Amino acid sequence: MTTTPRPAVRPARPEFSSGPCAKRPGWTPEALKDAVLGRSHRSKPGKARLQDAINRTRRVLEVPDSHLIGIVPGSDTGAVEMALWSLLGPRKIQLLAFESFGKDWVTDVVKQLKLPAEVLEAPYGELPDLSRVDPAADLVFTWNGTTSGVRVPDAGFIAADREGLTICDATSAAFAQDLDWAKLDVVTFSWQKALGGEGAHGVLVLSPRAVARLESHTPAWPMPKLFRMTKNGKVTLDLFEGATINTPSMLCVEDVIDALAWGEAIGGLAAMRARADANLAVLAEWVGRTPWVDFLAANPATRSNTSVCLKVVDARVAALSADAQADFAKTLASLLEKEGAALDVGGYRDAPPGLRIWCGATVETDDLRALTPWLDWAFETAAAGL
């Protein structure tokens, strides 16, 4: 029998999913009342709303004016694959693989595009040896491992005078961590992560170096329509001015405009980053005094402040088989969901067993403070029979 009483206070908003993530505080469907519905997205009002979303993205993320920003299909996955299929081929390729999505990009490059590449790998919870990154190579990497809770500490491993391009999947880093635009040639993310927007759309940011590659390199393979960003050897600029390749959901566009407006209103990127840091600090304080749990990312310098991944280190659980440990973690998540204390906090299916708690800016710090007693209660309840 558990000795930890059921907590009296639940988080006001138990949505701690790592994607789609919690809506911004105070969100209601009324936020979508100005959506351009029943009209073409290519109409003047439709294009104006798409351009507004791009302009607000530039301001909040502090993207240089030299970079292009486009709204693309297929969420962050679509944005990454557009970059991989369009840009890779002319020079050596390196890929960093330290979590599930980084490994997906390895599959795309090596097995689908069939390009020779050097894969720098690390187990969940760690980073590859960044000193091995070659400035002459095109580099593909995730800034923040959504499924591992590990992030690169900064862009110091990228040479300022590099010859290759850097293609950065930043979907769970954007709006919560500092992206070094001088070091990044392609940046991708999706609205349903740190903005708490709706899914299906991705964002693709291109530096002048990436644009030059697009205009000088013709891929050796057929290019699906959804991936085409050039015409007659020149970048199709209207794609980065609101003229999307395929039909976007104007409800989703209106929703992300609302999220970006909220981000601007609270103080922009610095304020959003501070909120995520404060949320991580709540869990770090709790982990520091709780013997049964630890971060999957052992090094605080590489620990995510958004997709926080936790592992159970209690000796009784560690003695179980791998399948039993996975079942134990599922039990924790199920107990929390049944009580309405935390929804969708199970670890990613390919990651080590544990919990994953989103701490991005749209999550309230008070809700995380209310969550930690429930985490203890769920553990004691699940472990009572061991």
pLDDT in tens, 26-74: 999 999 999 999 998 989 999 999 999 999 999 999 999 999 999 999 9
Confidence tier at 385 by pLDDT (50, 70, 90): confident
> What mean pLDDT, rounded, does the chain reach?
96
Confidence tier at 4 by pLDDT (50, 70, 90): confident
Tell me which CATH code domain 268-383 carries: 3.90.1150.10
Specify the pairing of strand 68-73 against strand 201-206: antiparallel
Q: What is the pLDDT of residues 266-323, one digit of tens each?
A: 999 999 999 999 999 999 999 999 999 999 999 999 999 999 999 999 999 999 999 9
pLDDT at 259: 98
- CA dihedral 108→112→118→123, nearest 10 degrees, is 50
Q: What is the mean pLDDT of residues 87-100?
A: 97
pLDDT at 283: 98
Whole-number percent of the chain with pLDDT over 70: 99
pLDDT at 330: 97
Q: What is the pLDDT of residues 111-135, one digit of tens each?
A: 999 999 999 999 999 999 999 999 9
pLDDT at 284: 98
Distance CA 344, CA 333 (A): 7
Task: Report yes or no: 273 and 177 within 8 Å, Cβ to Cβ.
Answer: yes
Q: Is the pLDDT of residue 1 over 90?
A: no
The topology (CATH level 3) of 29-264 is Aspartate Aminotransferase; domain 2 (3.40.640)
Tell me the domain boundaries of the chain.
29-264, 268-383
Q: What is the pLDDT of residues 208-265, one digit of tens each?
A: 999 999 999 999 999 999 999 999 999 999 999 998 988 999 999 999 999 999 999 9
Residue 200 has which token pair?
A: 């299906």
Q: Is the pLDDT of residue 171 over 60?
A: yes
Q: Is the pLDDT of residue 3 over 70?
A: no
Q: What is the pLDDT of residues 323-372, one digit of tens each?
A: 999 999 999 999 999 999 999 999 998 889 999 999 999 999 999 999 99
